[in-house]
Amino acid sequence: MQPQAALFMTNKLVFHTILAGKQTIAVADTDHNSSNGNDSVCHDVPGLDYEEVAGALAGATDVVLTADETRVLLKDHPRLTHQLAEWGVDDTELLEQLVNILSTDLIGERWPTYGETKIDYPAFVSRVHAAAKSKGYEIQAD
């Protein structure tokens, strides 16, 4: 008899040492989720407010994510999360990276930059919103 699949969540304090250029960074406070042998690890970065990041994403895209959904979205972007903790979500370059990550996750395309003339911006936003709704996210403008 095989055991039933279950989602296990533990909040163990885990330390990882990451080599970033010539620096080593110790990362702690790891959430570890495992389901059917597929692992997903999310690292909380000290000083990073995921609610604030989610709010900035909503302000820029109208896609409303929870703090946990934002954490999962950014789990493969440790450099960006550390930069966000240091510089904040008001940094325009970091906000541009955030919206690119979200739109790439949703529709496989980066968010258009200001002044791009070959993009039908309203149609692009409609596609992003439709994909977000299909993933269960709210749209702020609705």
At 74-129, the pLDDT tens digits run 999 999 999 999 999 999 999 999 999 999 999 999 999 877 778 899 999 999 99
For residues 30 and 67, state if they share a domain.
no
For residues 58 and 79, state if they share a domain.
yes
Positions of E strands within 94-142: 138-139
Domain interval for residue 59 = 47-139
For residues 72 and 29, state if they share a domain.
no
Whether pTM > 0.75 for this model: the answer is no
For residues 52 and 35, state if they share a domain.
no
CA distances from 121 to 58, 65, 112, 124, 133 (A): 17, 21, 8, 5, 18
For residues 18 and 56, state if they share a domain.
no
Q: Is the pLDDT of residue 2 over 60?
A: no
For residues 116 and 59, state if they share a domain.
yes
As a whole number, the mean pLDDT across the chain is: 77
Amino acid 42: pLDDT: 52
SS3 21: coil
Amino acid 26: pLDDT: 44
For residues 39 and 52, state if they share a domain.
no
In the chain, the number of structural domains is: 2
Which residues, at least 6 apart from 53, have a Cβ–Cβ distance to it below 8 Å?
67, 70, 74, 84, 89, 98
Regarding predicted confidence, which is higher, 122 or 15? 122
Helix axes 121-134, 92-107, angle to 10 degrees: 60
For residues 1 and 53, state if they share a domain.
no
Regarding predicted confidence, which is higher, 123 or 3? 123
Q: Report whether 105 contacts 73 (CB < 8 A).
A: yes
At 20-38, the pLDDT tens digits run 444 444 444 444 443 444 4
Amino acid 76: pLDDT: 94
